[in-house]
Amino acid sequence: MLVWSRPGRIVLWVLFALLFGVLFLAPLAVILLSSLADQWNGVLPRGLTTEHYSDVISGAAGDSVKASLITGFLASALALVSGTWAALSLRLQGPSLKRLLGLLFFIPSAVPSVSVGLGLLVAFSHPPLLLNGTVAIVLIAHFVLISAFTFGNVSAGLARLSPDFEQVASSLGAKPTYRLWHVTLPLLAPYLVAAFGLSFALSMGELGATVMVYPPGWVTLPVSIFSLTDRGDIFAGAALTMILVVATLALLLGLERITARATGT
């Protein structure tokens, strides 16, 4: 406790409530309210309706929920495999190569997503690898952007893992493959689940690279929200944003529960 006087503490708490309210609570509350607003010309909306949700779900936006979920799932699964693979095989390298490669695997997270999209357009717009205008290029863009995060999460998990278990398994005669499947990966499982959840959430909200490469038939949620609001249909945009937020939070909460059960906390 830093401040002992009660009035002093109350002043600080009010300051906190103000900052938290204006910066974090108000935006979420307002998105929720506007997604339900019938008409909004004054301070508060006049009348509430679920019309925007039904419009959004029955319209083309329903497809974008599907596109986002499929893209997020496939890109995260691929990123999980390649990130885990990279983190595990990086342990077998010498120290200097390990440092260099570790850095290279992190770099995609530091490059602006629009540039990642531009690069894919430039690289894959002509044969032999003509991917421009396909769903695959969207998946690749998401995979590239989230792979660094899965790699980072799994590496952090590996670093925290006690080497004893693996050494014991090894001294008991467990072959490398057996050790990987029955010792290392189960111990890593909580970190893998957390990495998957974070990648999925990042993919659901990805806009910069997607807006560069998406084909007409595969409009993800953020792109769909942007085109709705750009057309001036901000209430429908808010409804779709709420769907995105709820889907992301549900995903994260569900995965957190799985992780908690796995680690027994």
Partner 1 sequence: MSEAVAAAAPGVRREPGKFWIVPPAALLTLLFFYPLALIARQAFLDDSGVANAAEVISVLHSRFFLNALINTVTISVAATAGCLIVGLVLALILAFVPFPGSGFIARLIDTFIALPTFLVTLAFTFLYGSAGMLNAGLMEAFSLPLPPVDFLYSTWGVVLAEVTVYTPFILRPLLAAFSLVDRGQIEAASVLGARPFRIVRQVIMPAAIPALIAGGSLCLLLTVNEFGIVLFIGAKGVITLPLLIYSKAIQESAYQVACIIAVINVALSLGLFGLYRLAAGRLGA
Structure tokens given for 220: 């993800």
DSSP notation for 40-60? -SSSS-EEE-SHHHHHHHHST
* Structure letter (DSSP) for residue 3: -
Stretch that binds partner 1, among 7-15, 159-167, 181-189, 257-265 (CB under 8 A): 7-15
* Residue 139: C-alpha distances to residues 99, 111, 144, 160 (Å): 28, 17, 9, 31
Q: Give the one residue of 47, 58, 92, 264 binding partner 1; rule: CB under 8 A.
A: 92
Using CB under 8 A as the binding criterion, the count of chain residues that bind partner 1 stands at 86
> Binding mask 48-77 vs partner 1 (x if CB under 8 A, - otherwise)?
------------------------------
H or E element, residue 31: helix 26-36
Structure tokens given for 107: 């770099």
Stretch that binds partner 1, among 55-63, 157-165, 181-189, 247-255 (CB under 8 A): 247-255
State yes or no: residue 167 binds partner 1 (CB under 8 A).
no
Nearest to 92, CA basis, from 31, 18, 36, 166: 166
For residue 5, the minimal CB distance to partner 1 (Å) is 9
Q: Give the one residue of 6, 7, 42, 264 binding partner 1; rule: CB under 8 A.
A: 42
State yes or no: residue 246 binds partner 1 (CB under 8 A).
no
Residues 191-220 that bind partner 1 (CB under 8 A): 198, 201-202, 204-208, 211-212
**Helix/strand/coil (H/E/C) assignment for every residue in 198-226:** HHHHHHHHCCHHHHHHCCCCCCCHHHHHH
State yes or no: residue 36 binds partner 1 (CB under 8 A).
no
Q: How many CB atoms lie within 10 A of CB 93?
A: 13
H or E element, residue 39: strand 37-39
H or E element, residue 117: helix 113-123
For residue 60, the minimal CB distance to partner 1 (Å) is 19
State yes or no: residue 159 binds partner 1 (CB under 8 A).
no
State yes or no: residue 82 binds partner 1 (CB under 8 A).
yes
Q: Give the one residue of 238, 239, 243, 247 binding partner 1; rule: CB under 8 A.
A: 238
Q: Which is nearer to partner 1, 70 or 118 (CB)?
A: 118
> Binding mask 109-148 vs partner 1 (x if CB under 8 A, - otherwise)?
-xxxxxxx-xxxxxxx---------------x--xx--x-
